[in-house]
């Protein structure tokens, strides 16, 4: 079974631009979560989507948004990029049913650099 895939793997943008990152979950998984990883703040939760609806949201400004499509693929968008948005953005998928066997599996991440 294919794992979680994220595209692109690397991205360079300039301040003020906007960016869209994509995540394809493991087949059959309906939940997609996004995390931001930086050296200073570590791993921080952005948001989770389940069946095309945002189910959980972290403490990030409104410039960070996301959506999920009917095939469970998800995108996150960051508008008006700031230098501090430079980070590794990780996507994780799970079946989202909340059972003890439910586990989040991570993709390789998208490395975003803002100049």
Taking the least distance from each CB to other proteins, the nearer of 68 and 104 is 104
The 3-state DSSP class for residue 84 equals helix
Closer CB to other proteins, 6 or 81, in the complex = 6
Q: Of the two residues 45 and 75, which places its CB atom closer to other proteins in the complex?
A: 45
Q: What is the nearest approach in angstroms of other proteins to the Cβ of residue 16?
A: 28
Q: Which of 48, 66, 85, 114 binds other proteins (CB under 8 A)?
A: 48
Among 7, 103, 113, 115, binds other proteins (CB under 8 A): 103
- Residue 18 vs 51, nearer CB to other proteins: 51
Q: Which stretches does DSSP call E strand in the chain?
A: 5-7, 10-13, 19-24, 31-38, 42-50, 53-57, 64-68, 74-78, 87-94, 105-106, 110-114
Instruction: Choose among 89, 86, 99: nearest CA to 34.
Output: 89
- Tell me whether residue 111 is exposed, middle or buried, using C-beta atoms within 10 angstroms of its C-beta: 0 to 12, 13 to 18, 19 or more: middle
Contact residues: other proteins, CB under 8 A? 4, 6, 33, 35, 42-43, 45, 48, 55-56, 58, 90, 92, 94, 96-109
């Amino acid at each position: 079974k294919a794992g979680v895939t994220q595209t692109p793997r690397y991205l360079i943008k300039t301040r003020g631009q906007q960016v869209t990152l994509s995540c394809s979950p493991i087949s059959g998984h309906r939940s997609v979560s996004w995390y931001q990883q930086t050296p200073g703040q570590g791993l921080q939760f952005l948001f989770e989507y389940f069946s095309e609806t945002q189910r959980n949201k972290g403490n990030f400004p409104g410039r960070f948004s996301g959506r999920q499509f009917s095939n469970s693929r998800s995108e996150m968008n960051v508008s008006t990029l700031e230098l501090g948005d430079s980070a590794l953005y990780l996507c994780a998928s799970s079946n989202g049913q909340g059972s003890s066997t439910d586990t989040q599996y991570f993709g390789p991440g998208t490395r975003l650099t803002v100049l």
